[in-house]
Structure 1
Amino acid sequence: MSRLFRDVDGGSLCPRGSVVCIGAFDGLHLGHRALVRHAVARAQALGLPAVALSFEPLPREFFARGNPPPRLTLPRDRIEGLFGLGLDQLGLLRFGAALAAVRARDFARRVRAGRLGAREVWIGPEFRFGNRRGGDLALLQAMGEELGFAAGEIEPVHVGGERVSSTRIREALRAGDFVQAAALLGRPYTIGGRVVRGRQLGRTLGYPTANLRFPKTPALSGIYATRVHGIGAQPWPSVSSFGTRPTVDGVEPLLEAHLFDFDGDLYGRHIEVEFVARLRDEEKFPDLPALTAQMHRDADGARRILNASPSQETAMVDP
């Protein structure tokens, strides 16, 4: 049974011990997947539960609250993706001032002697943890000798001769290079969420949209050719706007997907929007007629691109 917990302290969750992997896992790219799958394989070999530890908010967001770094994945998608890799338990630890102040040695001790009873701890290349990023593989191995657990670091995963990283994915998304992003992720880049009610301006302009909130700093913004998953047996062609809607004074990032030739009620449904191609930047128009004219051009452009571009989903291989 999959279990989600939010604190590293508390009653024992793994009385017989566990195999633990630790990471931010933003985007859950090929490197993250390799780490989790390695931990799951080791746990199965030892007959122990496999546990991942991550953080929410991400440490970089906490330390840069005035200008947080772009986020690839919202918590729900990260949780579902991690459990989908075979984990038994996931600790999405509340990262705040208290956890930030914990020394690396004390954090390692909690993981070993606390509620997880870690027998093995695995991290990705160059991962750091603890106060002032003082913890690394060498410290984990030294603590392991002291406390009786093994620690290791998986080999980096490379695509195109360079190590896979969330930074590379963010750069690809900013550049509108969704083929490169998909190669690093092992799947097309998508944003998922539950459809919420908006101002319904798109409906009055002839372009009703399915709206997803994104309460983090997004890694991309603009107008895109997209496909929506979760509506029917096949991804639904669409054109989407992702940003702060400058013409209508938007604030919080909102993903608005107009599904071509769709007639139905999607409110409350969980969908995923797959990004296929970038059409243009967000732009402030002088009035609604000018905005509507551009929406017609965007829709026509998106239809042409989607008709000429088969879905990447069936072509991706996740090693």
Structure 2
Amino acid sequence: MKISWSWASPVIPQPSAAPDLRTTAATGSTARGAAVAIGSFDGLHLGHQALIRHLKQAAKDSDLASVVCSFCPHPRKFFQPLKAPGLILPLRDKLRTLAAAGLDRTHLLRFNAAMASLSPEDFVQLILVKRLNAKLVIVGEDFRFGHKRAGDLNRLTALGLSHGFAVQGVSEIQYGGERVSSSRLRETLLAGELALARQLLGRPYQLSGRVVRGQQLGRELGFPTLNLKMPEDLVASGIFTVWVEGLDRKPLAGVASLGRRPTVESGGRLILEVHVLDWSAQAYDQHVRVSLVERIRPEMRFDNLEDMTQQMHQDLQQARALLKA
């Protein structure tokens, strides 16, 4: 899926570094006004999906463009880079999922010093009114915005009255008696509970990317892999059974390592290495999608390559059994 990009910077007097607004997947004009949903949307779980469904229906009912406004990076990544929560989805997968939701537009706000310094009033005037032409704004009931999180749903509603847009708050979604949230989903992925993650997402947990050349070590050991670079702060890791799309007309079974290869290098970059079962063709530069089905084990450091190879054979046998079940 091809995504187009463009940049626009609202002009504000202070600070000098203005917040940037990136537009992607634009299929409709906001000249008639927009219904705008705001949030980080990391993971695009059931709660996010409920908000987007509400957005699309409200936009249709009021003849408005449906628009999602999100942030990059996550605001907590800006304020506390060492304590910020890990990413559930790489940006490309977040945008791909949003594009598939049938929205008219998706906007990304670069969360930088300029954005962090905006008062609630400036955020509304410069972003929602001037840039997005918002006539309806839809947020979660716990939504906070503006400098030091000074704005909440009540303040946004009051600002809407003075700027000519309505505000609607969407209630939380629960699963298993608990709120569906990005925090809960992160904890689920950290624990390797892929079945629960699939329930919270309403779909398999899927990562995508372009196949790049690796060090060929897997091929030397009898386990050729598709190598996909991942963001360094991705929350998931371990050895997984997977299904791979993009290589054949149907998904192909595989076993994958998502980690930093601690046995063969120190401080390595995060990479998804996928061994496709009973498949040996070249796939460099191809774009593939990998659905993580079940975690076999956490990533481990071995004393030598022989021990690692022996464990890889055990992982492969277990993956075959799990994928047949």
TM-score > 0.5, shorter chain as reference: yes
What is the percent sequence identity of the aligned residues?
44
- Aligned counterparts of 2:123 and 2:177: Cα–Cα separation in 1: 34
1:277 corresponds to which letter in structure 2? E
The residue aligned with 1:314 is none
Structure 2: unaligned runs, 5 residues or longer: 12-20, 22-28
The answer to whether 1:35 aligns with 2:51 is: yes
Which residue of the other structure, out of 279, 282, 292, is the alignment partner of 1:265? 282
The residue aligned with 1:76 is 92
CA contact (8 A) 1:223 1:242 kept: yes
| TM-score where L is the length of structure 1 | 0.91
CA contact (8 A) 1:4 1:89 kept: no
- CA apart distance, 1:256: 0.4
CA contact (8 A) 1:7 1:94 kept: no
- Aligned counterparts of 1:66 and 1:157: Cα–Cα separation in 2: 30
Which residue of the other structure, out of 118, 125, 128, is the alignment partner of 1:102? 118
Q: Which moved more, 1:239-248 or 1:273-282?
A: 273-282
CA contact (8 A) 1:121 1:149 kept: yes
Q: Which moved more, 1:14-23 or 1:60-69?
A: 60-69
1:64 corresponds to which letter in structure 2? Q
- Aligned counterparts of 2:286 and 2:145: Cα–Cα separation in 1: 37
Q: 1:191 to 1:241 in 2, by over 3 A?
A: same
Which residue of the other structure, out of 148, 152, 156, is the alignment partner of 1:140? 156
CA contact (8 A) 2:90 2:234 kept: no
- Aligned counterparts of 2:301 and 2:248: Cα–Cα separation in 1: 34
CA contact (8 A) 1:3 1:90 kept: no
Q: Residues 62-211 of structure 1 correspond to what in structure 2 (within 5 A)?
A: 62-211=78-227
The residue aligned with 1:303 is 320
Q: Secondary structure at the residue paired with 2:58?
A: helix
| TM-score where L is the length of structure 2 | 0.89
1:34-56 CA-partner distances (Å, limit 9, x unpaired): 11121111111222211110011
- Aligned counterparts of 2:31 and 2:9: Cα–Cα separation in 1: 14
2:168 corresponds to which letter in structure 1? G
- CA apart distance, 1:6: 4.7
Q: Give the total of aligned pairs.
A: 306
- CA apart distance, 1:5: 4.8
- Aligned counterparts of 2:70 and 2:255: Cα–Cα separation in 1: 33
Q: Secondary structure at the residue paired with 1:114?
A: helix
RMSD of aligned alpha carbons: 1.8
- Aligned counterparts of 2:103 and 2:179: Cα–Cα separation in 1: 24
Q: Secondary structure at the residue paired with 2:131?
A: coil
The answer to whether 1:219 aligns with 2:235 is: yes
Which residue of the other structure, out of 45, 48, 53, is the alignment partner of 2:64? 48
